[in-house]
């Protein structure tokens, strides 16, 4: 087993690094390039039923485009994750079902984007979130992930409990560590007292080991990935670095993470997940 192998939501992956939904993951050519150059999971750009020309960040060719790609790639043994958006529960279910039937291993419900928040409103209350998750869960067999809005009015622990109850295995959380966050990689100790250092950390703690957390935001190098793992992330997603650097960014970050694990005497990334300690 390789040092950076993980099991995410019950899915074995040879790398904890994957692309974030959106960057480099909308067009066939981009997705094929990612799939050829990266050994980990490939996550599609968010899609709805018919496709969108606006808002700009959710431009997509519609679910059938992604379903066709999912069929082709899974036939070649690739692990593919889909990302779902819509303006109502029926649309979310329809997109999720189509991708599920096309063979995606996991479905990321992008309930975080304003487009979805302002229509579906899944994070308006726990009851509403419960309703949405209950419907989708009934209709698909794929592992379910939820992309959590970076700003929340609901309590992370209450959300985490609900995700677990509704059979959601993965929470995709904001890696919003303070800019000056400092930790000794060898000991995993950070100066200062016990505190919630990021959304990733809040959900890791709230999940009590039964919810896998994926960190998204600001993962540009191996050290960023290492820190995200220390604060509880099982896997990390890369957005901006992919746009800047192209598909090679994922392999680079994986190799840098591997190097830091080796330097710190770790045989597996699993040895560091959630091991952050506070000095004070």
Ligand X SMILES: Cc1cc2nc3c(=O)[nH]c(=O)nc-3n(C[C@H](O)[C@H](O)[C@H](O)COP(=O)(O)O)c2cc1C
Give the binding site for ligand X (CB under 6 A): 20-23, 45-46, 57-58, 83, 110, 147, 216-219, 238-240
Comparison of 239 and 266: residue with beta carbon closer to ligand X? 239
CB of 66 to ligand X, least distance (A): 11
Nearest to 174 by CA among 221, 112, 124, 223: 112
Comparison of 40 and 239: residue with beta carbon closer to ligand X? 239
CB of 175 to ligand X, least distance (A): 8
Question: Does residue 55 have a cis peptide bond before it, meaning omega lies within 30 degrees of 0?
Answer: yes
Q: Which two tokens stand for residue 275?
A: 């091991």
Comparison of 26 and 276: residue with beta carbon closer to ligand X? 26
- Distances in Å between the Cα of 254 and the Cα atoms of 227, 237, 241 are 13, 11, 13
Nearest to 27 by CA among 193, 247, 275, 206: 247
CB of 130 to ligand X, least distance (A): 21
CB of 17 to ligand X, least distance (A): 11
Q: Radius of gyration over alpha carbons of the chain, in Å?
A: 18
Comparison of 30 and 161: residue with beta carbon closer to ligand X? 30
Comparison of 27 and 161: residue with beta carbon closer to ligand X? 27
Q: How far is CA 99 from the centre of its chain?
A: 17
Q: What burial class does residue 120 get, using C-beta atoms within 10 Å of its C-beta: 0-12 exposed, 13-18 middle, 19+ buried? A: buried
Whether the CB-CB separation of 18 and 105 falls below 8 Å is answered with no
174 Cβ contact list (under 8 Å, min separation 6): 148, 150, 198, 199, 200, 215, 216, 217
Comparison of 188 and 250: residue with beta carbon closer to ligand X? 250
Instruction: Enumerate the H helices of the chain as residue ranges.
Output: 28-37, 63-75, 89-101, 114-117, 126-139, 156-165, 199-207, 222-230, 240-245, 248-263
What is the rounded CA–CA span in Å between residue 42 and residue 39? 9
Comparison of 145 and 159: residue with beta carbon closer to ligand X? 145
Q: Which residue has the tokens 């919630």?
A: 196
CB of 213 to ligand X, least distance (A): 14
CB of 227 to ligand X, least distance (A): 14
Comparison of 238 and 273: residue with beta carbon closer to ligand X? 238
CB of 241 to ligand X, least distance (A): 6
What is the rounded CA–CA span in Å between residue 2 and residue 55? 40
**Closest residue to ligand X, based on beta-carbon distance:** 22
Whether the CB-CB separation of 41 and 236 falls below 8 Å is answered with no
């Amino acid at each position: 087993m390789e040092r950076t192998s993980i099991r995410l939501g019950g899915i074995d992956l040879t790398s904890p690094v994957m692309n974030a939904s959106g960057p480099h993951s909308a067009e066939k050519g981009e997705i094929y390039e990612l799939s050829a150059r990266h050994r980990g999971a490939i996550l599609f750009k968010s899609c709805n039923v018919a496709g969108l020309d606006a808002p700009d960040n959710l431009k997509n060719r519609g679910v059938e485009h992604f379903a066709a790609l999912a069929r082709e790639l899974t036939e070649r043994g690739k692990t593919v994750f889909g990302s779902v958006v819509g303006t109502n529960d029926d649309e979310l279910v329809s997109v999720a079902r189509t991708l599920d039937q096309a063979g995606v291993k996991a479905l990321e419900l992008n309930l975080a984007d304003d487009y979805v928040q302002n229509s579906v409103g899944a994070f308006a209350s726990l009851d509403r979130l419960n309703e949405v998750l209950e419907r989708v869960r009934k209709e698909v067999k794929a592992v379910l992930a939820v992309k959590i809005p970076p700003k929340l009015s609901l309590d992370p622990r209450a959300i985490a409990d609900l995700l677990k109850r509704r059979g959601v295995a993965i929470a995709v959380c904001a890696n919003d560590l303070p800019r000056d966050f400092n930790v000794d990689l060898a000991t995993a100790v950070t100066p200062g007292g016990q505190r919630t250092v990021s959304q990733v950390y809040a959900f890791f703690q709230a999940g009590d080991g039964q919810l896998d957390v994926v960190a998204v935001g600001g993962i540009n190098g191996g050290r960023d990935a290492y820190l995200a793992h220390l604060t509880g992330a099982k896997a990390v997603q890369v957005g901006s670095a992919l746009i800047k650097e192209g598909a090679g960014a994922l392999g680079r970050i994986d190799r840098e993470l591997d190097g830091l694990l080796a330097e710190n005497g770790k045989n597996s990334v699993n040895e560091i997940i959630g091991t952050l300690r506070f000095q004070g």
